[in-house]
Structure 1
């Protein structure tokens, strides 16, 4: 099979890495890809992830058998609809289905309609009304840009001043562009947050193992939210019974609700959940693989990913069972100085060759190889994933690797998976 992966980050590198292991793959491309991905696949760097006509032309010219969509922006730009209309096989939800991520208000309305547990909310198109609502509700409270903001359009406000600043930044200053034309203000939920992804072929749902992401930029959950600073799987402090409850009260009702709305959802549906005292509640839905959750979930998947993707596209998941490795996986994101704010590019990265090992994987997110040197080229630069018999061993390996890789201004959280590892040790 000839496969094209759309995207350029660590998630796409993980997809390429997993697909590369399949004996069914004869040619592997990534558009636009990055220099790290280029070690495993042919990168088409002059094609952006939202250049639908260019991607179509490439897929037809190269006789691509399956295209796999990584980023949400591509889905919401309608790449799946365009490929499907030309008779090309593509993995990912269409534009109507991807709206579960593209509009937080749309997702909330669906949850309300189909009685899916989530926090109370109100949506606003006027900053003045939003400010009045926050003053009435009090804090803590959550302020979200309605549209796509690369994981950064969310503020958990613990003071009225923080909430007001977030509203003005999103609506008046348009820090996230048109994504902030509308905002959603939500109840603050307390508990442990987990990521629960599943393959959905319109009818059958196949949940993946859960992971826990770390959104705030600094250790101890300090600082602004990011696209994700690291993740781990499994999440031993979350009981299997709670995961089953989340599948039965959230994922399955959402799958049925989408079908009832006339939406044929083919791809990954991802529920960001808070395990509250009242049970699992939805923080948000995403329409694609998570980043960095994919970097810890796919290394644990024993199935041939090609088989799972094709079963999803063809509506045959009912005959597919997922199998998972028992080992724990941890991913630590190394970021550029200043991220998630403005940051410089072009810092020389050292230690990459020395850090190659059989039980760790380097997923490139924001790197470029130029004149014989690896350089930083993004906010999130590298995702270092390590596998171990348990979380403690995986943490030891991943941080040893992280210490070996250096560049000017490098920073990363030192506590990815720490609480979970402590919980395991305590029994």
Structure 2
């Protein structure tokens, strides 16, 4: 490695992508340092998918305890303690943060718990004033919630603050139509809050198949979640009793106890000194990189949400792994394949998808076959819950290859992980047909499409 530098690799940001890249590079023999100004673990572990999924688990008990009575269980004196769940979740987040730090330490990665700025070619200056040099610099600073500017916008919260609420709001308005908005709408609704979603367009989850979007909207409304479409914030006024008077375009003013915005995320690139060394940014402030995560400056790379390619934790981890292997490993450089990435929305019920939607397939391939199963899961039947699941398979009619699978229903993300392998491997509908079903399961619907 390069002895003329203090480190072979200096990583700015200890989130999922930065931690993986640093650990793997160190395993390849590189001298590595990481700077993290907040907490090791990044958005996913500290204030994103991990604590959110814990809240999702907690929210499911609201319906499970009701359904249990139909299975012979008597539930007496049930009550929900938000503070207990909140604190348990934060304790586990702290535990995971320690494990991430321990992993880096076990690989002899130096951790600087402070902000780092690029101040010259191969040069990084820490908030303490210390200056170090590195042959390669990796930026993995992630993204943050976008808060629109309007009168009273200082009164809103984001997903960051939602994990730390002192108490649950009786009425909450959630702005946005993406996965974060719909996930927290389901969580707060199950905890007994009156939830309203306000969206500036007329579509929720626009990147997902229309059939799934429509089904989630229908189920959410039955559960009591309200929806306001084609509306934007005009103002928020905090009143004497602490409630928020919200004015939305085309709507009557309405009072809420909390307003949460989930209207997108923006890359964390400000104040990193990228302009000092000429790193090229995109229109949203994202770092522009090539297929190997290299920026416009040869010795500077970037992975994860800060590049705005695919804002998913597993993608950031893959990018970090590929970067470290390619730059510091003994093998040939390789790039991450960003096509056919599976995803999930942990709504109530959850959505999972991989590949093309029906609309995308028709526009791209022309001649397709669509197979669909619309059914009530056995558990819902016994519980008397009139909530239907929907599974959908998109097939290229020219070669029988499955190009998309879309699901909404209990445990859809768990089922989709295996199904996504089949789509990535370019298997055909005939391959699924030839597979014996596991009965009785919801997943068997995937091999019983007619």
Give yes or no for TM over 0.5.
Answer: no
Per the normalisation by structure 1, the TM-score is 0.30
Q: Greater strand percent: which structure?
A: 1
- State which structure, 1 or 2, has the greater radius of gyration over its C-alpha atoms: 2
